[in-house]
Amino acid sequence: MSLATASRVLNGSTRKVAESYRERVEAAAEMLGYTANLSAQATARGTSAVVGLVVADIADAALGQLAAGVARGAEEAGLVVTIAVTGRDPLREVAVVRALRGHRPRGLILGASRTEGPDATDLQSELEALAGTGGRVVVLGRRTSGLRAVGTDERAGAAALGETLARLGYRAAVIVAADEGIRTFDDRVAGFSDGFTTGGGTILDVRRAGFTREAGYASAQALIDEGVTAGTVVVGIRDVVAIGVMSALREAGRRVGEDVAVAGFDDIPFAQDAAPGLTTVRVPLEELGYRAVRAVVEPEWDAASPLLPVEVVVRGSTPPRA
Amino acid sequence: MSLATASRVLNGSTRKVAESYRERVEAAAEMLGYTANLSAQATARGTSAVVGLVVADIADAALGQLAAGVARGAEEAGLVVTIAVTGRDPLREVAVVRALRGHRPRGLILGASRTEGPDATDLQSELEALAGTGGRVVVLGRRTSGLRAVGTDERAGAAALGETLARLGYRAAVIVAADEGIRTFDDRVAGFSDGFTTGGGTILDVRRAGFTREAGYASAQALIDEGVTAGTVVVGIRDVVAIGVMSALREAGRRVGEDVAVAGFDDIPFAQDAAPGLTTVRVPLEELGYRAVRAVVEPEWDAASPLLPVEVVVRGSTPPRA
DNA sequence: TTGTAAGCGTTATCAA
DNA sequence: TTGATAACGCTTACAA
């Protein structure tokens, strides 16, 4: 029989083929352990069954959860996910998008990245080129430019955290963040400041230290040297930095919670297991990743699709102030 | 000029092309934002520049670090990594290998998986089929079958942990593990038992609970109900399990370390930040991932390549017993 | 050194 | 419903 017939039975063609043929083909394929060459399929079809994921660091707890959601969505959609890590380097970011572009992916999911600066326009043109070959770009975070986006309501969540802490009796806060320019994190700073000051608190300082545990650790050490007053709450821009803060405090003999309170963002698994538990705002990272691939796959996309809600989780790291 | 010439300058051909041509081609490519269609390249060449990574769970702290190493190695080798997650389901494992196989990857890196059972032979034939299309399979863990392998000396590390704990004065241990059948974890159980009993300790029990934080949590609760005697050390087969154990103990009002000691394996980042710090055996996961892609890339492979050493790290969760 | 042309493994169009 | 056959975008003998 012809190759065409075989192709029709093995690959999702809508066309009908006689049962007898179908059986024979399937039997043969099974016997030979045949698997379609997806590259050839991709060249013939002009599009491949892959979705790219670009993140800063795949070992990061939060981004790992995100990736897990992406993997789940991709599996469900019959796509494979290829990942590329940028280390938060804008240059590498455009480089990896370029590399991924070579695969003519069905879509590309772009983790929180800088939205301005000279490299941002390079990125922009890479993304346009990608779109030009039929790939759908979805960015994580609030909608920007004409791309599809899935995001969480960071601003509202951060404000809620600020209000909650104020209500618990905190009056002074220090935020440990990184340089401005990443929308998600800028929203957190702004939202928290809003909520906290509205509740009657004061933002003592916004430190631009970085996104890592080490950034938190170092910042907390500095804070201690400068003599943080008891009853201050240090909020890390991500749970990992908050964890670093907690460790530094503990090592310096401060009691987390009683002496200095700590809060974060993301609700990574360890936030629950830290001692005391870390107060944080829970971001549905896994769900976000899943939705991102839905956004790639769905033919129609509602530009006004709502931000996912986030939720503040109060734990022992911010006990009520007497 | 001809397509052939253009192809030669853009894609690593050893052949020479006149400088004037080269320049013109490069300029044009740059201007058009041209990127080779890797799928087409792959069909033409018969092999693609991708390496597959198969892991149980990409959100897992340890596997995330592994993935980071793989990503680094792949980047360096000019490969992209496609990941597939199995959730430790043997059926899904053969399914994802099959799916990855469609891409005719340059190589496949296989996280710790079951080495026996009915599905293991299915896996085996998938792997052979993959090898048949020129893909190199490297398994993580001790060498088994004819495949390339990179691994750590789990057995020695576990024994060292057992000895260390015995030397610290512990005389009773409970191991929280999952079902047998995964070499790496079996080695940990065996090695620890060896070292601990050699040092004069007794293994009270090996619980088969699972690989997760929740498994550790539940096991610890059960242990408490059954009345663990103070001074026992509970060792989790992975740090995440140990973390779960610690949380359950703490919630039950037990002091980790003083009342019941806890230890784990992997040295994930949070082992250091837990309070008290978690005693564990450090496994160079990132390095392991990196070496795995080296093992894919390198033409020659020494079957007798040594296992990477691991190192025990003592922290506050196992204070010396008076 | 360059160009021509024959593949690579699929899909899809068009006749049969 | 089936089968030839021309794409798909690229690589690589082989000739020029």
Same-domain pairing of B161 and B263: yes
Interchain pair A37, B59: CB under 8 A: no
* Residue B20 forms part of a structural domain: yes
pLDDT tens, A144-195? 777 899 999 999 999 999 999 999 999 999 999 999 999 999 999 999 999 9
Strand D–CB B78 distance below 7 A: no
pLDDT, position B200: 97
Same-domain pairing of A64 and A180: no
Distance in angstroms, CA of A6 to C1' of D6? 18
Interchain pair A58, B36: CB under 8 A: no
**Strand C contact residues in chain B (291-310), C-beta within 7 Å:** none
Same-domain pairing of B139 and B176: no
Check if the beta carbon of residue B280 is closer than 8 Å to that of residue B234. no
Nucleotides of chain C within 7 Å of a protein C-beta? 1-5, 7-13
* Residue A321 forms part of a structural domain: no
pTM, to two decimals: 0.95
pLDDT, position B120: 82
Instruction: Label residue B305 exposed, middle or buried (CB < 10 Å: 0-12, 13-18, 19+).
Output: middle
Least confident of A154-168, B37-51, B183-197, B276-290: B37-51
Q: Where are the beta strands (DSSP E) in B111-251?
A: 136-140, 148-150, 172-177, 202-208, 233-236
Check if the beta carbon of residue B166 is closer than 8 Å to that of residue B196. yes
Same-domain pairing of A9 and A111: no
Same-domain pairing of B196 and B97: no
pLDDT, position B217: 98
Can you tell me the mean pLDDT for B71-80?
A: 96
Same-domain pairing of A97 and A118: yes
* Residue A237 forms part of a structural domain: yes
Distance in angstroms, CA of B96 to C1' of D5? 34
What strands, in cross-sheet order, belong to the sheet with A107-110? A148-150, A136-140, A107-110, A50-55, A80-85, B80-85, B48-55, B105-110, B136-140, B148-150
| Distance, C-alpha B3 to centroid of its chain | 44
pLDDT tens, B48-57? 999 999 999 9
Q: How many domains does chain B have?
A: 3
Same-domain pairing of A263 and A228: yes
pLDDT, position B136: 95
Is the predicted pLDDT of residue A12 greater than 70, yes or no?
no
Same-domain pairing of A18 and A57: no
* pLDDT band, very low/low/confident/very high, at B12 (cuts 50, 70, 90): low
Same-domain pairing of B81 and B171: no
Interchain pair A250, B100: CB under 8 A: no
Tokens of B166: 């015995």
Q: Which residue is closest to A245 within chain B, CA to CA?
A: B273
* Residue B274 forms part of a structural domain: yes
Is the predicted pLDDT of residue B271 greater than 90, yes or no?
yes
* Residue A317 forms part of a structural domain: no
| Residue at shortest CA–C1' distance from C11 | A44
Which residues fall within 8 angstroms of residue A160, CB to CB, at 6 or more apart?
A195, A281, A310, A312
Distance in angstroms, CA of A44 to C1' of D5? 14
Distance in angstroms, CA of B46 to C1' of D16? 28
Is the predicted pLDDT of residue A56 greater than 80, yes or no?
yes
pLDDT, position A13: 66
* pLDDT band, very low/low/confident/very high, at B114 (cuts 50, 70, 90): confident
Question: How many other C-beta atoms lie within 10 A of the C-beta of residue A12?
Answer: 7
Tokens of B277: 């710090």
CATH number of the domain that B107 lies in?
3.40.50.2300
Least confident of A63-67, A256-260, B17-21: B17-21
| Residue at shortest CA–C1' distance from C9 | A40
Tokens of B293: 């892609």
* Residue B322 forms part of a structural domain: no
Give contacts of A103 with chain B, Cβ < 8 Å: 38-39, 80
Same-domain pairing of A14 and A59: no
User: For residue B107, what are the β-bridge partners?
Assistant: B51, B136
Same-domain pairing of B147 and B290: yes
**DSSP structural state of residue A292:** H
* pLDDT band, very low/low/confident/very high, at A289 (cuts 50, 70, 90): very high
| Nearest nucleotide over every DNA/RNA strand to the B8 CA, judged by C1' | D11
| Residue at shortest CA–C1' distance from C1 | B17
* Residue A93 forms part of a structural domain: yes
Strand C–CB A44 distance below 7 A: yes
* Residue A41 forms part of a structural domain: no
Is the predicted pLDDT of residue B13 greater than 90, yes or no?
no
Least confident of B66-70, B181-185, B199-203: B181-185
Interchain pair A60, B61: CB under 8 A: no
Domain enclosing residue A118, as ranges? 47-152+286-297
Rounded to a whole number of angstroms, the CA Rg of chain B reads 24
In angstroms, rounded to a whole number, what is the distance separating the alpha carbons of residues B208 and B211?
A: 9
* pLDDT band, very low/low/confident/very high, at A114 (cuts 50, 70, 90): confident
Of B38, B84, B213, the CB nearest to A80: B84
Can you tell me the mean pLDDT for A244-253?
A: 97
Same-domain pairing of A275 and A178: yes
Is the predicted pLDDT of residue B145 greater than 90, yes or no?
no
What strands, in cross-sheet order, belong to the sheet with A202-208? A202-208, A172-177, A233-236, A261-266, A279-282, A311-313
